[in-house]
Amino acid sequence: MKINKKFNFSIAVDGGSASGKTFGSKIISKEFNFKLLSSGKLYRYLAYQIIKNRFKYNKNYIRKLSKNISTSQLNSSRLYSVNVTKLASIIAKKKYVRSYLKKFQLDFIKNNAKVIVEGRDIASKIMPSADLKIFFKCSQKEKAMRRYLELKKINKKIELEDVKKALKLRDFNDKNRKQSPLLFVRGAVLVDTTNLTKKQVKVKLIKLVKKEIRLKKKKYGNL
């Protein structure tokens, strides 16, 4: 689907761990040529650096790290270890951490006309005025198997039970933290990927995005 370069369109994607939101966001980004930011990688990056450098994190250290993040640093498979996942969940509860990383996200959105950002507080805190809001969900059993198969490629010794526990803890923390909890906001489109194949997810999302783009063009013109 061709979109005028001057046409602005924003998509906020939320959902729990391994719910399909990252896969779905990549599909949309590739199909419609949208710039993509997976906000969870920002927290994982900070967690990875803390573990790697054996720092006891504090505001000054986090602020310094946050100011020196580039999108190229967010693609390492090392950001998905069980230990990084656990620490990312912990630091994500900190108000000052979310504040520093929010600036990075807002700058990314501001600098791109067609943008999709995925995470856990995107529609509620980062992009409340997004043109399209999508919320992904998936059963715990299916999520654990998906993440297990992903991590198995990196660490052959990883156990499914450890992955299950890590995901369950992450989802609990995300939904119950005081700072920017995972929420299904009014107006968001629910996408349950539990029983969907990758092809079915792709077809569903492309259809959804095309529909919303057409509606905006009809309402405001080819902005």
Residue 210 lies in a domain: yes
Domain count, the chain: 1
Residue 197 lies in a domain: yes
Q: pTM for the complete prediction?
A: 0.88
Residue 1 lies in a domain: no
Cα–Cα distances in Å, from 216 out to 105, 132, 139? 24, 10, 33
- In angstroms, the CA 62 to CA 91 distance is 10
Residue 153 lies in a domain: yes
The answer to whether residue 6 scores a pLDDT higher than 80 is no
Residue 4 lies in a domain: no
Mean of all residue pLDDT scores within the chain: 90
Tens of pLDDT, residue by residue over 123-139, are: 999 999 999 999 999 99
Residue 35 lies in a domain: yes
Residue 202 makes CB contacts below 8 A (sequence gap 6+) with: 27, 31
Tens of pLDDT, residue by residue over 172-192, are: 888 888 888 899 999 999 999
- In angstroms, the CA 4 to CA 28 distance is 16
Tens of pLDDT, residue by residue over 132-162, are: 999 999 999 999 999 899 888 888 889 999 9
| CATH number of the domain bearing residue 65 | 3.40.50.300
Query: The domain containing residue 115 runs over which residues?
Result: 9-220
Nearest to 26 by CA among 195, 144, 202, 183: 202
Residue 3 lies in a domain: no
Question: For position 178, what pLDDT does the model report?
Answer: 86
Q: Is 89 helix (H, G, I), strand (E, B) or coil?
A: helix
Residue 169 pLDDT class (50, 70, 90 cuts): confident
Residue 5 pLDDT class (50, 70, 90 cuts): low
Residue 147 lies in a domain: yes
Residue 72 pLDDT class (50, 70, 90 cuts): confident
